[in-house]
Amino acid sequence: MAVYSDQDRRQIDELCARWREGSLIGDASLLYPDDFPTVWSQPVLDELNRRFWENLLEGGEGGGSFESKWEIQLEDAPIEVRLLAAECLLVYYLITVSVGPDRKRAMINKTIGPDREDLHVSTNSGVYEALRNWIANPGQYYNTRQDLLVGYLMELASRLKKLPLEGRTELLKDNPWGFSEFAEGGEHHNDTMRHVVCHLLYPEYFERIASNRHKELVLKTFGELDTSDSEASQDQKLYAIRMELKRRLPDWSEARRDYYEPDLRLIWHPAGRSTDSASMDPAFALDFKKQIVFYGPPGPARPTRHVTLRRESSGPPRCSAGALMSTSAT
């Protein structure tokens, strides 16, 4: 399973479950479902998408920052639209460590507006607790193109609402691969945010990786463990590899099997492009990979045994743990 973070992600996962059930399948506000039962409805989503995509401000327009442009796009918007915009920001912020919790809260509350302080996120709320934690570091692109990522999120929700209730339920309840295929569509497709949304809604199936490049490298490195068929998608192959790693390394914790933790990162991440390149030992990494791939139990019909991999104290130090990277990262 890919449900891992070195932070406490329980509040994040609870919010995502509420978002799926109440807001994407249903229409209710994520923050105030009883008071605002139609915030994620098609008409409100259409209005937010219109304000954003039909008034897309590029470069230095509108003050140059996402914050200043966002305020222009939401000028005179009714509270339902502003609350929807704030909740899109909330979902965007859930995964990232690169923005502090107080900044996240300030942007959400500013989006809601100063005239509705009763709706602001407080520091003693469960939502703030979720914002204090994080799942990964999405990298520079996740910050510099916040507009495109949030825009993709609101368009994805609008496309979902065009489906009948049964169709939305089928995609969001127990169909990770169908949802991933659906998420690849849209006029304003964004792979980075697609990877993030898939992980947030189906963390058991999708890695906490937002970089296409990193997914390709992991798949290339551990491809021998792929038990999926030839028609499988990239994410289905990664899932098959994860299940095989879990079978071959049963004594490893979920944390140790995470691709951005030292033991596995050492194998797949290009040493020459890592800030920890001095601690990389290519010979050790190659031997480590061979032990996992070739000396673990080769198949379910064989006797079950596993390899225990240790590094001598005289060997190279473990490279520091990485985090989720953006599509612009190497």
Question: How many Å apart are CA 117 and CA 310, to the nearest integer?
Answer: 55
Question: How many Å apart are CA 216 and CA 218, to the nearest integer?
Answer: 6
Q: Is the model's pLDDT at 131 over the cut of 60?
A: yes
CB-based contact 105:23 (threshold 8 Å): no
Instruction: Encode pLDDT of 115-127 as tens digits.
Output: 999 999 999 999 9
Question: How many Å apart are CA 242 and CA 258, to the nearest integer?
Answer: 9
Same domain, 134 and 247: no
Instruction: Encode pLDDT of 178-196 as tens digits.
Output: 999 999 999 999 999 999 9
The stretch 311-316 carries a mean pLDDT of: 39
- What H or E segment, with its residue span, contains residue 322? none
136 in helix, strand or coil?
strand
pLDDT band at 157 (very low <50, low <70, confident <90, very high): very high
Same domain, 147 and 257: no
Same domain, 227 and 254: yes
Specify the pLDDT at position 272. 37
Instruction: Encode pLDDT of 269-304 as tens digits.
Output: 875 344 444 444 566 666 777 777 766 555 543 333
The length of the chain in residues reads: 330
Question: How many Å apart are CA 99 and CA 245, to the nearest integer?
Answer: 32
DSSP per position, 178-193: HHHHHHT-STT--HHH
Number of domains making up the chain:
2
Query: For residue 201, what are its two tokens?
Result: 């809604």
257 in helix, strand or coil?
coil
Instruction: Encode pLDDT of 58-93 as tens digits.
Output: 999 999 999 999 999 999 999 999 999 999 999 999
CB-based contact 69:59 (threshold 8 Å): no
Question: pTM for the full model?
Answer: 0.85
pLDDT band at 312 (very low <50, low <70, confident <90, very high): very low
315 found inside a domain = no
- What H or E segment, with its residue span, contains residue 306? none
Same domain, 268 and 289: yes
The stretch 39-52 carries a mean pLDDT of: 98
Same domain, 189 and 230: no
DSSP per position, 94-146: TTBSSS-HHHHHHHHHHHH-GGGGGGSPPTTSHHHHHHH--SB---HHHHHTH
318 found inside a domain = no
